[in-house]
Structure 1
Amino acid sequence: MRVKPGTFPLVIAVIAVLLAGCGGSPDPDAPVSPPVSPGASSAGAEPGTTDGLGAAPSAKASPTPSKPAATLARAGNPNGGASVPAEGRAVDTGRPTRVVGTGTPASCTGKAVVTAVAAGGLITFDCGPDPVTITMTETAKVRNANGPRVVLDGGGKVTLSGGGKRRILYMNTCDQAQGWTTSHCDNQDHPQLTLQNLTFADGNSTGEKAEGGGGGAIFVRGGQFKVVNSRFVRNRCDRTGPDLGGAAIRVLSQYQGKPVYVVDSTFGGAAGQGGSCSNGGALSSIGVSWVVLNSVLSHNEAIGQGANPARGGTPGGGSGGAIYCDGNKFTVRIAGSIIENNHAKEGGGAVFFVSNDRTGSMRIENSTLRRNPSDGFETQGLPGIFFLGVSRPTTTGSKLS
């Protein structure tokens, strides 16, 4: 999809032809029917092992610190005011299945995080009273048979870092290496992954090509997923490519088309802290719906070149400074949020939204979108947005500039 500056009146005439090839990457929502692994259980009982971890499940939920605990400032837009439905709220982790750490920063290791995530259940951290950064030496991967809920709760004190070298967290219900638990891996209700009260920093998925790549900090396919009161800073994925994206988060194939909730969270937040990827400097998806509530997305960038499908002689990409969404029928709702100072080298400095069959829709409620330049193209009258869907986006109580 290419539109040269100053030629917007030609968009409508040209766009149908340009988008005929959109979505040329493998369809992540195509049905997959792997055999059920022998002994695999779709019930996904939460195992009680604490191998390599801290306190057992019977231990008290929050060890009493020797001094008042320090916590990071709350993420997101505190003045957002959007109501959060039950399915978008934090999970109660007062009785954790397992705890990472035994009360000191040194006990909170990347290896312990990997072990906990693979085991599943409700996971909290006991790393001492002060904020701590845990640098991952390998990507933590969700095992599909363990759960069915997998919750990581950092208590507002834990940063998981990719060290600028690797993706931090990975979940894929269709990855045989993580176990198949149903005969319809592309549409199953588990695992149900929740990330809350955490910071994800310096994730980097550059070179990761499975499922199309992307997801610098987090990659999710299948099951259900939400993020609450979390921060994403300085995450990266491949610099070029027509359809890959999500410097912070890449999501595919959610159960029954249910939306991904992003609540009270910050992506970037200050100059030099934003994410950078070919497309979607913060969020990216194909055929997935989003509900973004009371959040801040700023200083993120889409740095690819050539759009999608890629112009001749270019590698493609460069759309969706903050959010990149492609596919057929999906929805995006942004409420009580601030999206500012993001940049796209091609289209949609704030949001790139393309519903190939024109069934998708977007709503923007009580939000501010400002200073999100698009070097190539955007939809007339919607600064920072390139939109193709069932009808023009609904905007209520919002400012776009």
Structure 2
Amino acid sequence: MAAVGVTPAGSAAPTSAHHDRAPVTSSSARVVGDGSSTSCTSDAVVRAVRRGGVIRFDCGPRPVTIEMRRTAKVVNTSRRVVIDGGGLVTLSGMGQRRILYQNTCDPAQVWTTSHCDDQASPRLVLRGLTLARGDSTGQDLDGGGGGAVFVRGGRLKVVGSTFVGNRCDRVGPDVGGAALRVLDQHRDRPVQVVRSTFRRGRCSNGGAISSIGVSWRIEDSTFLGNRAIGRGANPARPGTPGGGSGGAIYLDGNLFTLSLVRTTVRGNVAREGGGAVFFVSNDRTGTMEVRGSRLVRNPSQGFETAGLPGIFFLGARLPTIVDSVLR
């Protein structure tokens, strides 16, 4: 089945968001490495993230992979943490651990306010970075998930980055986000994802991204070959462990939004519902729009919404689809 959106007369696609490209001088940046690839170590990354600020890398002129032997954790007293890989740096979880963690409600990372679930900072920005082979299997704090990156509270933005081969728990009715798991963004502002790629993620739900009650604006990005591999959906059917929804994107909660703008979602698979997108607004207030995008060949092996190939949707009204292809 194919569905092609047509732009209503007089309407226009939203303009792109600002991309956090303020100039960074060598004196204001925290630099990992001394010019050699061997100087760019897991310990150096962990220390830099703990100290916060703008983080850049000096690992030589060639691409480098840093094997993360510990998870890098943001301290909640940091106002802003920008990790800028310059297009040359891969952080690898080696298939053994989550790569990055931010949680404003985790006392171990300093509990700074009585309203930890809605504080404005830290603001975490990932730019020009590859995050590969992260694995959060067995991590159950705040529901787990987030094989590469887990964020609760503050803000998250992702620009020009790649997530590949990340994993989280294989079963569970609500655990998800092989690449990104996000909860409680400040003032319910959307997570922004710009010019980024998500490939070959595997999790019970949300083979790429997952959240509860969080809005997303995703622009000029690509989701390829991600899979939701759980079984039994949510709530879990009797005799099953639950999960299997949102091959690429799994969003649950009450009032939240999803905007896909000039984005390709292709070849993702859900064992249960929503090969491309699983969107459930429990109180039916959430909304979704797809503009200038292609969602193709994303099989839902269990269920999806009639007329919306690859999508299972429950919200305020049917998604707005403009100049897009669903097939």
Interval of TM-score (by shorter of Structure 1 and Structure 2): over 0.9
Which residue of the partner structure matches residue 40 of structure 2? 108
Farther off after superposition, 117-126 or 94-103: 94-103
CA separation in 2, counterparts of 1:85 and 1:349? 27
**Deviation of 1:181 (Å):** 1.3
1:231 equivalent among 159, 162, 165: 162
1:352 equivalent to 2:278? Answer: yes
- 1:180-206 CA-to-partner distances (Å, cap 9, x unmatched) read 111210001000000000000000000
1:208 equivalent to 2:134? Answer: no
CA separation in 1, counterparts of 2:67 and 2:84? 17
1:118 equivalent among 46, 50, 69: 50
Which residue of the partner structure matches residue 196 of structure 2? 265
- 1:202-255 CA-to-partner distances (Å, cap 9, x unmatched) read 000000000000000000000011000000000000000000100000000000
Which residue of the partner structure matches residue 97 of structure 1? 29
Farther off after superposition, 110-119 or 94-103: 94-103
1:198 equivalent to 2:129? Answer: yes
1:241 equivalent to 2:167? Answer: no
2:318 equivalent among 361, 379, 392: 392
**Deviation of 1:90 (Å):** 4.1
Which residue of the partner structure matches residue 7 of structure 2? none
- 1:57-96 CA-to-partner distances (Å, cap 9, x unmatched) read xxxxxxxxxxxxxxxxxxxxxxxx973212x444543444
Please state which structure has a larger fraction of its residues in strand. Answer: 2
Point out the structure with max Rg over C-alpha.
1
Which residue of the partner structure matches residue 364 of structure 1? 290
Distance 1:177 1:390, change over 3 A: same
- 1:6-53 CA-to-partner distances (Å, cap 9, x unmatched) read xxxxxxxxxxxxxxxxxxxxxxxxxxxxxxxxxxxxxxxxxxxxxxxx
CA separation in 1, counterparts of 2:180 and 2:70? 17
CA contact (8 A) 1:144 1:191 kept: yes
Give the AA of the match of 2:105. C
CA contact (8 A) 1:335 1:364 kept: yes
Which residue of the partner structure matches residue 337 of structure 1? 263
Which residue of the partner structure matches residue 54 of structure 1? none
Structure 2 counterpart SS, 1:261:
strand
Structure 2 counterpart SS, 1:186:
helix
CA contact (8 A) 1:82 1:293 kept: no
Give the AA of the match of 1:106. T
Distance 1:378 1:151, change over 3 A: same
Q: Give identity over the alignment, percent.
A: 62
Give the AA of the match of 2:31. V
CA separation in 2, counterparts of 1:381 and 1:117? 45
Unmatched 5+ residue regions in structure 1?
1-80, 269-273
Give the AA of the match of 2:279. F
2:209 equivalent among 254, 264, 283: 283
Which residue of the partner structure matches residue 3 of structure 2? none
CA RMSD, aligned part only?
A: 1.1
Question: What is the correspondence of 1:50-89 to structure 2 with a 5 Å cutoff?
Answer: 83-86=15-18, 88-89=19-20
CA separation in 2, counterparts of 1:192 and 1:276? 27
Q: TM-score, normalised by structure 2?
A: 0.95
Structure 2 counterpart SS, 1:112:
helix
Which residue of the partner structure matches residue 381 of structure 1? 307
CA separation in 2, counterparts of 1:255 and 1:300? 28
Q: TM-score, normalised by structure 1?
A: 0.77
Which residue of the partner structure matches residue 304 of structure 1? 230
Which residue of the partner structure matches residue 27 of structure 1? none
**Deviation of 1:97 (Å):** 2.8
Which residue of the partner structure matches residue 137 of structure 1? 69
CA contact (8 A) 1:290 1:332 kept: yes
1:180 equivalent among 111, 123, 132: 111
